[in-house]
């Protein structure tokens, strides 16, 4: 059993579990945390799962764990690993079932006090216009050929169809389109699921949230993002829906025999993998990119529905409004990137599962408006607590393969939350705090209660203290829409 004593403190907010800790570990595990968050990480199987990842062959360097870490399956949620292109592995389970689950933030020039009386109506209309819950109701049905186009083009498909603005696309990670997506590597049954789910929020921990910009920490960066204190903003948290889930299911299944073919020994079957450059690895990468592009298009369509909702509620009252995209970023993805590791530039396959890309200033792939600042990092909190906007830093490039945290991180099991928290009571508590709730499932709401999560402010203090993120703005929720 691993205990706190097994960790060495590298510096404030950074801990190392050396590779010598377990015989099969190939590399060290670094955890970004304060003392309390490290104790939290040791409270479930997070650390053991990170050690399992550190035992994979062909890792380019240490495994990094974010302070919002919690137990997942295979790789912990909040884990980052970098696999060598030659001899390293790509693992569907280390990306997750919800491929390109991510967050989109849109800013407005609406002043909270001036529109407060309309927010309840806005929440109701957002709930009705953004299809949520299980299944396909309200989706944009696609033929197989059109779905293939979505897979190849992502947000660009949405732009072509009139669901996006050029600025939306420019302010999306990879401009909302991963090159090399290969719909031919996607199974017919994944396509069956995907065809009927584009433009839907789904259920679970996905949401839309209307926020007020509560506090600004970096005026220059906030201005570039269009975030002004006291103004409204909108967050969208969603992924690739059943399409991505089925792709992951298919590849986790088919890789079960690939590991035998390549003679790979695994501590956890959910970590099944194949060499990055193998036919199996390339097939998964092509399919994963297809799901990632589907997810970019999906969040774009939800933004389109959100704009319809703003028009229905605010436009109808003569209130001028605009939803301007700040950024859209994935937190479940594998990508080929170049990083400096042990003083050498190396092309690696970075897996981020419940971790956000957080590139520092100067990265050419960022839209011009952010290039000198660094990449916006979007960190949603839990329903009743703050969300944060950060910037990627030079420190994140050096320490965590250009990665940062993705949320608050669960600390209470869903089963315990269901036992201890009543959805109806939670809803009235949140409403009392000024957070309007629209949901299709009160038990689902209870599972996502704020006290089931870590203190997001503490998580942010840890990533900023470790130097992998820089504070820009804090948001507080005024309306939450859940499936």
Query: Interface residues with another protein (CB under 8 A)?
Result: 44, 46, 70-74, 77, 93, 96-98, 133-135, 189, 192-193, 196, 202-204, 242, 245-246, 248-249, 252-253, 256-257, 260, 268-270, 272, 410-416, 441, 443-444
Q: Give the number of other CB atoms < 10 A from CB of residue 340.
A: 11
Tokens of 76: 């912990």
Please give the Cα distance from 97 to 100 (Å, whole number): 9
Cα–Cα distances in angstroms (integers) from residue 106 to residues 110, 361, 378, 417, in the given order: 12, 21, 11, 31
Angle, alpha carbons 75-366-404 (nearest 5°): 30
Burial of 5 from C-beta contacts in 10 A (0-12 / 13-18 / 19+):
exposed
Cβ-based burial of 318 (10 A; exposed 0-12, middle 13-18, buried ≥19) = exposed
Closest distance between another protein and the C-beta of residue 274, in Å? Answer: 15
Of 136, 32, 132, 152, residue with least CA distance to 463? 32
**Coil, helix or strand at residue 202:** strand
Cβ distance to another protein smaller for residue 101 or 478: 101
Report the 10 Å Cβ neighbour count for 342: 7
Task: Tell the smallest beta-carbon distance from residue 413 to another protein (Å).
Answer: 4
Q: How far is CA 291 from the centre of its chain?
A: 14
Pair 468, 475: CB distance under 8 Å: no
- Nearest distance, CB of residue 80 and another protein, angstroms: 17
The Cα–Cα gap between 221 and 472 comes to 6
* Nearest approach, Cβ of residue 384 and another protein (Å): 19
State how far the Cα of 51 lies from the Cα of 61, in Å rounded to an integer.
13
Residue 97: which of 276, 291, 347 has the closest Cα? 291
Query: CA 310, CA 323: separation in Å to the nearest integer?
Result: 9
Instruction: Identify which of residues 133 and 367 has a Cβ nearer to another protein in the complex.
Output: 133
Is-contact 408 78, C-beta < 8 A? no
The answer to whether the beta carbons of residues 268 and 74 sit under 8 Å apart is: yes
Is 331 noted as a catalytic residue in this protein? no
User: What three-state secondary structure class fits 284?
Assistant: helix
Shortest distance (Å) from residue 442 CB to another protein: 10
Q: Please tell me which residue in 206, 245, 351, 406 is annotated as part of the active site.
A: 406
Please say which residue, 249 or 324, places its beta carbon nearer to another protein: 249
Between 61 and 92, name the residue whose CB sits nearer to another protein: 92
Q: Is 76 left (phi over 0), alpha (psi -120 to 50) or beta?
A: beta
Query: Toward another protein, which CB reaches closer, 152 or 191?
Result: 191
Angstrom distance (rounded) from CA 329 to CA 327: 7
Closest distance to another protein from the beta carbon of 414 (Å)? 6
Closest to another protein by CB, 202 or 477: 202
User: What three-state secondary structure class fits 407?
Assistant: coil
- 192 or 346: CB nearest another protein: 192
Least distance in angstroms from the C-beta of 132 to another protein: 10
- Residue with Cβ nearer another protein (110 or 333): 333
Whole-number minimum distance, CB 124 to another protein, in Å?
21
| Residue number with CB closer to another protein (414 or 451) | 414
CB of 42 to another protein, least distance (A): 12
β 387-391/376-379 pair status? antiparallel
Task: Report the distance separating Cα 471 and Cα 391, nearest Å.
Answer: 7
User: What Rg, from alpha-carbon coordinates, does the chain have?
Assistant: 21
Active site residues: 406
């Amino acid at each position: 059993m691993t205990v706190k004593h097994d960790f060495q403190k590298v510096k404030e907010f950074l801990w190392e579990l050396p590779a010598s800790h377990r015989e099969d570990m190939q590399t060290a595990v670094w955890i970004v945390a304060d003392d309390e968050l490290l104790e939290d990480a040791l409270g479930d199987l997070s650390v053991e799962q990170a050690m399992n990842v550190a035992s994979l062959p062909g890792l380019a360097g240490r495994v990094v764990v974010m302070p919002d870490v919690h137990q997942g399956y295979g790789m912990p949620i909040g884990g980052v690993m970098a696999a060598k292109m030659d001899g390293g592995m790509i693992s569907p389970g280390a990306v997750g079932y919800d491929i390109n689950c991510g967050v989109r933030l849109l800013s407005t020039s609406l002043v909270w006090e001036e529109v407060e009386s309309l927010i309840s109506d806005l929440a109701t209309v957002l709930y009705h216009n953004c299809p949520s819950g299980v299944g396909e109701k309200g989706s944009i049905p696609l033929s197989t050929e059109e779905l293939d186009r979505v897979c190849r083009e992502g947000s660009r498909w949405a732009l072509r169809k009139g669901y996006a603005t050029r600025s939306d696309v420019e302010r999306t990670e990879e401009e909302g389109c991963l090159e090399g997506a290969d719909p031919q590597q996607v199974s017919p049954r994944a396509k069956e699921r995907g065809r009927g789910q584009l433009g839907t929020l789904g259920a679970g921990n996905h949401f839309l949230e209307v926020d007020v910009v509560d506090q600004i920490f970096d005026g220059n960066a906030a201005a570039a993002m269009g975030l002004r204190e006291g103004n409204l903003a909108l967050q969208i948290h969603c992924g690739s829906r059943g399409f991505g889930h089925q792709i992951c299911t298919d590849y986790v299944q088919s890789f079960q025999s690939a590991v035998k073919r390549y003679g790979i020994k695994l501590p956890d079957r959910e970590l099944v993998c194949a060499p990055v450059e193998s036919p199996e690895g390339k097939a998964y990468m092509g399919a994963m990119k297809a799901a990632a592009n589907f997810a970019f298009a999906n969040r774009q369509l939800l933004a389109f529905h959100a704009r319809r909702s703003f028009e229905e509620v605010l436009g109808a009252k003569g209130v001028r409004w605009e939803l301007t995209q700040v950024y859209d970023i994935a937190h479940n993805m594998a990508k080929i990137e170049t990083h400096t590791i042990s003083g050498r530039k190396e092309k690696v396959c970075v897996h981020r599962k419940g971790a956000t890309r957080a590139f520092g200033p100067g990265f050419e792939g960022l839209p011009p408006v952010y290039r000198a600042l660094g990449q916006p990092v979007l960190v949603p909190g839990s329903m009743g607590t703050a969300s944060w906007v950060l910037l990627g830093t030079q420190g994140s490039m050096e320490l965590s393969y250009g990665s940062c945290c993705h949320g608050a991180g669960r600390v209470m099991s869903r089963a315990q939350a269901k036992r201890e928290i009543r959805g109806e009571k939670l809803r009235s508590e949140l409403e009392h705090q000024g957070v309007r709730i629209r949901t299709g499932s009160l038990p689902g709401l209870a599972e996502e209660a704020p006290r089931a999560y870590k203190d997001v402010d503490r998580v942010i203090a840890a990533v900023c203290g470790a130097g992998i993120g820089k504070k820009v703005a804090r948001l507080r929720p005024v309306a939450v829409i859940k499936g």
